[in-house]
Structure 1
């Protein structure tokens, strides 16, 4: 079986999820061509798992100083080029087309009359999924950016019968509770983040971003983002400070790391993730990352959620390689029932606090 697997590469979480799927699919007699868009090829890193992958420009989102910037997003995207890339992408060699919120693959499939399976967090946003910070335009973008025929959503709770638990990209490492805190706020001003962290000299922080070079600034170790170093640092951390993307927080939940999360301003998906985390009692959220918010979180007593997600990547790889015989609803039911039947709390109303403590 030949598979084309399109991945939105703007955020590192999509690539992390794809890495887990690449490893799981290697156990089956399938040939996978990976296609990445949304980020310049030279800015992709730790891509060995994908072999000789394909790359297109696609479409992306632009953020500045912790906010989604609409005007810059429009200016930075080249719509005629995107339409040409979709038109020229030949899907005829492939038996199966998969899309992780990747618009070139999705549009090419529509134009060529091919069924496309969607696997990603964005496909979990049904009527019952928590929503926050959206507008009519953002709702339209969410549903129209990379539409698919068979959506398999990923979330922290079974909000619908097509929603699966998270796909995790976690290496086999000893998980300990060290003294350092991991900071990954890629959409924020990195110098401003460091300035805030240095106001707490009694705590040690390791700040990651693709914009940084390895250096020490007082109690802050600034590190250029890389897969292996980051996961090792995460495994031994006392907690994590991050934006409200889906994949990293999922990994923190699996490894029982306390989380302080700040959603990217004006980005509905991240605000909705923060709302879901508050309702589930899985993390602390703050609308701004500043010294008062950090001080409050550092002083709080953190009780992590008692959850253990199943191996969703292995289950999906089997499902795909065997011809997608079960319905998404059956697959969802199987994964949520095993091995965590009693560990999923019912969503609760939010308390409306500025920083919501982990329950």
Structure 2
């Protein structure tokens, strides 16, 4: 069986899901070719797992200091290149096209009438889940940005909807969490501003990852640029996670039962809805403003009440795909059993 797997690479969360899925698809004997879009080729890192992958421009959002810049997003979009990439991508050699909210593979498969399956957090918004700033434009984006014959939404809770738990790229957890160690990942904020917020809180050890940072020790703040292995190690060893409200990192933090504080990317409906859902489920805290006082209050507050334990969704999906990806068999997997603790 040969599969073309498209990944929206604007954020690292989609790539992290692809790492998890790629391992299990390979274990099932499925040959996978990857296509990534939404990020310049020179901004990828630690991609050896994906072999000889393709990179396309695709579509992405431009962000500045915690907000989406819609004007720059429109200016930098390249619709003619997107149209050309969709029409030039040949899906004939593949038995199935998978897409994680990646538009080129999704629309190429649709154009060539190739069987396609989409999965990702964005597809959960096609159902009745907690949403903020829902409007016809956002609904159209989730429906038409990267469509497929079968669309599988992922979320932290089922909300009595036909969606699945998160796909997380984690090894078995070790009991190595340091109560004073905090992982910080706020890629949409000004990194120097983040450092200023953390500097007064010297009773904690902060491990800050972000764009433009190089490996550097600033007293109790360890700064690092993107690195998968170091990031995963520090995630395991931290007791708390401070981040924007992207879906994948929060999913991994929940699976590892970390304390969580999120600040949504302003103007990004998905992240703002994630922050709302996290608070409603009492799985973490959210804030619209970050500063030293807000971070200090969170770190000194009692731990959150609810915890979760998710099934191995990547393994289940890989086996389901290998067996033929029958929609009725997916409904019988029952991956939500006992996920709340």
TM-score by length of 2: 0.95
Shift of 1:254: 0.8
Matches within 5 A, 1:37-116: 37-116=37-116
Supply the RMSD in Å over aligned alpha carbons. Answer: 1.6
Which residue in 2 is equivalent to 1:307? 308
**Do the aligned residues in 1 keep the contact of 2:283 with 2:304 (CA within 8 Å)?**
no
Which residue in 1 is equivalent to 2:169? 169
TM-score by length of 1: 0.91
**Do the aligned residues in 1 keep the contact of 2:28 with 2:318 (CA within 8 Å)?**
yes
User: Which 4+ runs in 1 deviate beyond 4 A?
Assistant: none
| Cα distance between partner residues in 1 of 2:330 and 2:282 | 26
Worse-superposed segment, 199-208 or 135-144 = 135-144
| Cα distance between partner residues in 1 of 2:289 and 2:329 | 37
**Do the aligned residues in 1 keep the contact of 2:3 with 2:95 (CA within 8 Å)?**
yes
Shift of 1:142: 2.4
| Cα distance between partner residues in 2 of 1:97 and 1:104 | 11
Q: SS at the partner of 2:334?
A: helix
Shift of 1:134: 3.8
Shift of 1:250: 0.6
| Cα distance between partner residues in 2 of 1:236 and 1:87 | 46
Which residue in 1 is equivalent to 2:191? 190
Worse-superposed segment, 95-104 or 200-209 = 200-209
Matches within 5 A, 1:19-34: 19-34=19-34
| Inter-CA distance 137–326: structure 2 relative to 1 (3 Å threshold) | closer
| Cα distance between partner residues in 1 of 2:65 and 2:248 | 21
Name structure 1 gaps, 5 residues minimum. Answer: 345-359
| Cα distance between partner residues in 1 of 2:250 and 2:278 | 9
For residues 123-149 of structure 1, the C-alpha deviation after alignment (integer angstroms, 9 at most, x for no partner) is 111342110134433332222211222
| Inter-CA distance 135–293: structure 2 relative to 1 (3 Å threshold) | farther
| Cα distance between partner residues in 2 of 1:54 and 1:304 | 43
